[in-house]
Chains A and B, each alone.
Chain A
Amino acid sequence: MGFLTYLVNGLSLGSVYALIALGYTMVYGIAKMLNFAHGDVIMIGAYVVFMCMSNSGMPAVVSIVISIVCCTALGMIIEKIAYKPLRKATNLAVLITAIGVSYFLQNMALMIFGSNPVSFTSVINWEGLSFADGALKITGNAIVTIITCVVIMIVLMWFVKNTKPGQAMRAVSEDKDAAVLMGINVNATISLTFAIGSGLAAIAGALLCSSYPSLTPYTGSMPGIKAFTAAVFGGIGSIPGALVGGLLLGIIEILARAYISSQLADAIVFAVLIIVLLVKPTGILGKQIKEKV
């Protein structure tokens, strides 16, 4: 039964990774950049929920909506100020700028909220289910997290496939120059992608901190890096890949924590990343992109 509990916890953590990974993978697919600051948007989102719920006593749903609005705006502002001017610059310049933004968000949060962890109240007020006379307990957090993730994933895949903006996103990710010629507003599409990714980050932040309630300005950075790992794992640029990668990574991490060593769990997760990239650099569901000669 212990194993099953771990598996469910792994799925739950993996769902959060998948949600975060979506933000990375969509931005990567469309803007061809690694948005290093994405993990820190999660942290900001979690702080917004915390401020609304614990400090102002708002209901959970309202808090999350406010957080989504804030993060969406933040994501779009970051894109506009820091990334858009560098769209035609080298990858290295964009990457270093993104690191700068990540660092900026962390240190802003540090100044506003301080370095002491705050205790996050779960947005999910449900005990959960228990099976086999309490031998297998599944927390409400885990259930809601997994279901939320799956629903969002399905909606997003439908959105990308069937709506006009979604098709524009696919077109831009395929070939930016051709998309321009087809009359697609590339700037608006990239902006929209950042908006969606950051909005999802707010949800991910609330869910992550519901399960792991200690919130600090650095809360987002490790899950952010791991979620990027998940995105790479599943094949960057692919939405189902983010789901598969996220879930697998979550399960690996929880099992490693339970059966090998809690201190080495992160090391094991990263080792998995390195091995995956060694064996299949494009990830599980990714496809090879070759430079045109």
Chain B
Amino acid sequence: MSLLEVTNLGISFGGLRAVDEFNLTIEQGELYGLIGPNGAGKTTVFNMLTGIYQPTDGKIFLDGKDITGKKTAEINKAGIARTFQNIRLFGDQSVLDNVKIGLHNSFDYGTATGIFRLPKYFNVEKAMDEKALEILSVFGLDKEADVLASNLPYGKQRELEIARALATNPKLLLLDEPAAGMNPNETKDLMNTIALIRKEFGVTILLIEHDMKLVSGICEKLTVLNFGRVLSQGQTTDVLNDPEVIKAYLGE
């Protein structure tokens, strides 16, 4: 069984058909790329996969379970986590707390336990701290655990967002332009990080990217979107040599 199975997904905003007949199958452990020109509907696909937009047509299956039309929080619990093109951190909280919020559903104590600081509060908080630091150390962010998230430099904010998403223990991680705004060196580091988290966390990744170098360097399979429709789909090398794709990217 495939990890993610999307069939005939489509969405309209008013009269505008933003995405149409979108099909996608991702196998367990794959690193999959979603590419396409600006406005092709890539982020819209992400928004549908994570329940931020309700698709007008089609079905989404995660691990064989129908998650179409579920609420965002439910979809996260089912196993999809994501990052955003325009970074969305909890800016007024520390780096550590950002990750601990990601760990929210993996650890449990009630509101009353927290208010009255029962022994369980201390035990669970300690375990959460340890786990959060463990995740942060993968990104080398553990030294900045006490820094306010909004005070981190841009590149580290992107990494923190990935760390937070990983903290929810997802089966599938969606990265929306993780290399946006990074210089070539940072992009290279990011490629290494993505490879590393794939190994460390055993997570399947779907990423949107403009940077062709990054895409061809790490993605095994690609889907190319153009004007809301799938232009080409398959193994990376095949897709990148597809005349249709070349035409769309380089013009006629």
Chain A interface (Cβ < 8 Å from any Cβ of B): 293
Contacts and interface: CB of A to CB of B under 8 A. Distances in A.
A293 B53 CA distance: 9
A293 B52 CA distance: 8
A272 to B, nearest CB: 30
Contacts, number: 5
Interface of B: 43, 47, 52-53, 84
A230 B191 CA distance: 55
A293 B84 CA distance: 8
Minimum-distance CB pairs A-B, first 5: A293-B52, A293-B47, A293-B84, A293-B43, A293-B53
A293 B87 CA distance: 10
B119 to A, nearest CB: 37
Contacts of A293: 43, 47, 52-53, 84
Nearest to B85: A293
A50 to B, nearest CB: 48
A293 B47 CA distance: 8
A237 to B, nearest CB: 17
5 contacts: A293-B43, A293-B47, A293-B52, A293-B53, A293-B84
B62 to A, nearest CB: 20
A102 to B, nearest CB: 29
A293 B45 CA distance: 12
A151 B43 CA distance: 47
Contacts of B43: 293
Nearest to B52: A293
Contacts of B52: 293
A76 B79 CA distance: 53
Contacts of B53: 293
A92 to B, nearest CB: 13
A108 B107 CA distance: 55
A284 B38 CA distance: 36
A293 B86 CA distance: 8
Nearest to B13: A290
B55 to A, nearest CB: 14
